[in-house]
């Protein structure tokens, strides 16, 4: 039941912030400072939380960070995606393993209109062993617990409200969260189209590249799991290093 509640919250946050975006644009009269603040939070959540942490580090082990930074990235990524890092990584690896089949957690060809709601993106088949490097980690297990998950996702809007009241809630939480979830949806829709030479429908997208800050070479990523866009790689190496595989 509690896990279902997570999925419902995740799905609701796909679309509820649209009201906040409308209010920010047409009612708030907010100054440029709030929009700059929103853009900064969007960048941090999208590039470091969603892209570098959840996608390229926790799932594909492309980068490694010292422990305090790694835990900070766990927090930022959970705030960004509204999914715990362990759950996200297991689901993503299932996507790679079963890409564009009925067992793919987010394949447009099988989900149809249901792809528009994250509650339908739970994997039917998955292997926890694909993320055994996370299962052994007590911090990852805490973030994946119900206490860890709700503590994280509730603390983010609370902090934003304490910083700026209603404006903080809208510009620092609702709009950035909506942006990241929209980016995640575009990643899923990058599998809409004709089958390519690799036997699946992943494709590069300038729209995806725009929303993800340059991480739009989705076709290449599926053929080279450790491939990371130039900008994301530079940002990752500012605070960490390449993971050395044994």
**3-state secondary structure string, the chain?**
CHHHHHHHHHHHHHHCHHHHHHHHHHCCCCCHHHHHHHHHHHHHHHHHHHHHHHHHHHHCCCEECCHHHHHHHHHHHHHHHCCCHHHHHHHHHHHHHCCCCCCCCCCHHHHHHHHHCHHHCCCCCCCHHHHHHHHCCHHHHHHHCHHHHHHHHHHHHHHHHHHHHHHHHHHHHHHHHHHHHHHHHHHHHCCCCCCCCCCCCCCCCHHHHHHCCCCCCHHHHHHCCCCCCHHHHHHHHHHCEECCCC
Percent of the chain whose pLDDT exceeds 70: 98
pLDDT at 198: 65
The residue ranges of the chain whose pLDDT is under 50 are: none
Dist CA 93 CA 127 (whole Å): 8
Nearest Cα neighbor of 74 from 139, 27, 168, 164 is 139
pLDDT at 3: 80
Dist CA 3 CA 173 (whole Å): 23
Percent of the chain whose pLDDT exceeds 90: 77
Report the chain's terminal Cα–Cα distance, integer Å: 40
215, two tokens: 């991480």
Q: Are 201 and 193 in contact (CB under 8 A)?
A: yes
Quickly tell me which residue has 């939070």 as its tokens.
Answer: 41
pLDDT at 197: 67
Quickly tell me which residue has 């987010």 as its tokens.
Answer: 106
Class of residue 202 by CB neighbours under 10 A (exposed 0-12, middle 13-18, buried 19+): buried
Class of residue 230 by CB neighbours under 10 A (exposed 0-12, middle 13-18, buried 19+): exposed
């Amino acid at each position: 039941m509690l896990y279902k509640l997570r999925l419902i919250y995740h799905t609701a946050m796909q679309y509820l912030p649209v009201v906040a975006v409308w209010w920010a644009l047409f009612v708030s009269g907010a100054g440029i400072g709030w929009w700059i603040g929103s853009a900064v939070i969007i960048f941090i959540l999208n590039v470091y939380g969603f892209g570098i942490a959840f996608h390229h580090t926790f799932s594909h082990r492309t980068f490694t960070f010292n422990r305090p930074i790694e835990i900070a990235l766990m927090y930022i990524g959970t705030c960004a995606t509204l999914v715990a890092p362990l759950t996200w990584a297991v689901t993503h690896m299932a996507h790679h393993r079963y890409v564009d089949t009925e067992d793919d957690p987010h394949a447009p060809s099988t989900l149809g209109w249901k792809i528009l709601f994250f509650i339908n993106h739970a994997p039917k088949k998955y292997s926890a062993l694909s993320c055994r490097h996370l299962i052994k980690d007590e911090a990852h297990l805490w973030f994946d617990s119900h206490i860890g998950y709700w503590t994280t996702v509730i603390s983010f809007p609370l902090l934003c409200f304490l910083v700026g009241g209603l404006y903080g809630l809208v510009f620092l939480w609702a709009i950035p969260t909506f942006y990241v979830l929209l980016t995640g949806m575009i990643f899923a829709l990058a599998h809409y189209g004709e089958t390519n030479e690799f036997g699946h429908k992943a494709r590069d997208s300038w729209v995806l590249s725009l929303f993800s800050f340059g991480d739009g070479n989705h076709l290449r990523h599926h053929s080279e799991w450790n491939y990371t866009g130039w900008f994301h790689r530079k940002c990752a190496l500012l605070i960490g290093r390449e993971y050395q595989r044994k």
